[in-house]
Amino acid sequence: MTIKKTFLAVSVLMLVARWAKNRGIASMPKPSAAMQKVLDALKALGGKPIETLSPEAARLQPLPGDAVKALMAAEGIAAPSTGAVTVSHQAIAGPNGDIPVHVYTPQGDGPFAVLLYFHGGGFVIAQTADYDASPRALAEAAGIVVVAVDYRRAPEHKFPAAPDDAYAAYQWVRAHATEFNGDPLQIAIGGESAGGNLATVVCLMARDRNVTLPVHQVLIYPVVDNDMTRPSYLANAKAAPLNKAMMQWFFGHYAGPRDALHPYALPMKAASLAGLPPATVITAEIDPLRSEGQAYAARLQASGVAVAQRDYAGVTHEFFGMGAVLPAAREAEKFAAEQLQRAFREVRFRRTRSAVEQGINPIPRNMA
């Protein structure tokens, strides 16, 4: 290359960098050492780019959770004890057939507060079993029952099948909590990625239908918009394990262009977020969804909703639930559990205060 061509190439790169800086777009951040190990393990599993596959083939590809298991085996890391949480499985009636649910119960007598949880996977791939570490960690850390839902997936069941199943599961938990030693007055909702979308969409649906709201929502890098010009989409367009092309593929299978305007598909489209439950919003630095998660948190706050928001540096989409190998995941799991515990304490406090105001002794007879 001649000196002149080299100079021109460098000049172009400088102009691009300046343009990106002016728009608030940074280059893709560097993963932490622990996160890089997981990414290397995922790459070694030899998965194909999901956006090039059919949904059936995509569901056979290795997931980040598989990489965590491979890394643990390679480094001799013992699997976390499963004895602190028991899991039972059942099917509940849904709007179009049975919905599988999985009930994670911590040790103790109960009744326990309840978290209704939805897994990620872009509405197309994955199921609760692939995200088992997350509901298990939250059940143990917060001392709550977690009900995880295997909602219908696209493209076999396009929008609004998933939110319809999610809302049906919420109604079932409200009606049947006592049957699995849960407290029907202490129900929160949460999820990761597409599951975070479903969690806040259920809140919108309950608000719009004048149904009792969850006491709290935990939104872990939620899918809430389809604006791919946001800074994190530009900075992380080719990130792993989630990138821009994959999100385009997921959206293409989940909802049509008209459906994508509906707030129950993408809650950023809602005319108002007022009246929704307090929220915990968790985002990851190396994630196309980071900017929209932060924007959603800001919009909730502007709408009068209390929000606790935390961004984790050096980690990618799907980091939550990787506590066995990732310090940031342990921190995020602890943060989410603490926010849930705080929300449930507030519910109990209000209940006790209401009982006292009505002249009712809130202390059980056997404790008086």
Active site residues per annotation: 193, 287, 317
Residue 98 near residue 171, CB atoms below 8 Å: no
Q: Is the peptide bond before 241 cis (omega within 30 degrees of 0)?
A: yes
Residue with tokens 């990732």: 326
Residue 114 near residue 188, CB atoms below 8 Å: yes
**Cα gap 72→190, rounded to integer Å:** 27
Max distance between CA atoms of the chain, in angstroms, equals 90
C-alpha distances out from residue 275 to 71, 169, 214, 216, Å:
43, 21, 11, 12
